[in-house]
Amino acid sequence: MATSLKNLSTHTSTNIQDVSTKKFAIVVSEWNDEVTQALYSGAFQTLLQHGVKKENILKKLVPGSFELSLGAQWCAQDKEIDAVICLGCVIQGETRHFDFICQAVAQGLTQVSLTYNKPVIFGVLTPNTQQQALDRAGGKYGNKGDEAAITAIKMLCF
């Protein structure tokens, strides 16, 4: 379903178990940081609402979304981390840079997840405009950071 038809922050809580002892890393891209910090706030608050302890949430910054894969790998290598949430925002520009970054990060995060056998969540917005990004980072379509955190929790309850 197109996200314009869905509030990203609504979700069903079926099968969500106790995750209060789990440890999460949140890797945040600094590019488009007004958006990515809002995604981070959403993810962080959602984890707290589900009983995760503040001290069990590690925040790591990377320069851009392209670097999310390596950041995720460094976090996934840590045996104490149960799940890695990756947050970024790549805005469609006039060149093919957008396509290269989006493809690289999608493939990179998949690879890290399968290599380390841990949830590595793709919380990357790929809008056409800054406004579309803001609408999905705590705006009228909810917050994809919330959705990313819920996805991580659900995968830990698999």
Catalytic residue annotation: 97
**Cβ nearer to ligand DLZ, comparing 7 with 41:** 41
For residues 104 and 66, the answer to whether their CB atoms sit within 8 Å is yes
The mark string for 23-42 relative to ligand DLZ (x by CB under 6 A, - otherwise) is ------x-xx----------
DSSP state for residue 3 in the 8-state scheme: G
Task: Enumerate residues 62-81 that contact ligand DLZ by CB under 6 A.
Answer: 63-67
If binding is defined by CB under 6 A, does position 126 make contact with ligand DLZ? no
Q: Concatenate the DSSP letters of all residues of 51-83 into one string.
A: T--GGGEEEEEESSGGGHHHHHHHHHTSTT--E
**Cβ nearer to ligand DLZ, comparing 11 with 74:** 74
Return the half-sphere exposure (C-beta side, CA atoms, 13 A cut-off) of residue 146. 18
- Site size with ligand DLZ, rule: CB under 6 A: 15
In the complex, residue closest to ligand DLZ by CB: 64
Burial class, 43, CB count within 10 angstroms (exposed 0-12 / middle 13-18 / buried 19+): buried
Question: How far apart, in whole angstroms, are the C-alpha atoms of residue 138 and residue 143?
Answer: 4
The mark string for 85-114 relative to ligand DLZ (x by CB under 6 A, - otherwise) is ---xxxx-x---x---x-------------
Contact footprint for ligand DLZ (CB under 6 A) = 29, 31-32, 63-67, 88-91, 93, 97, 101
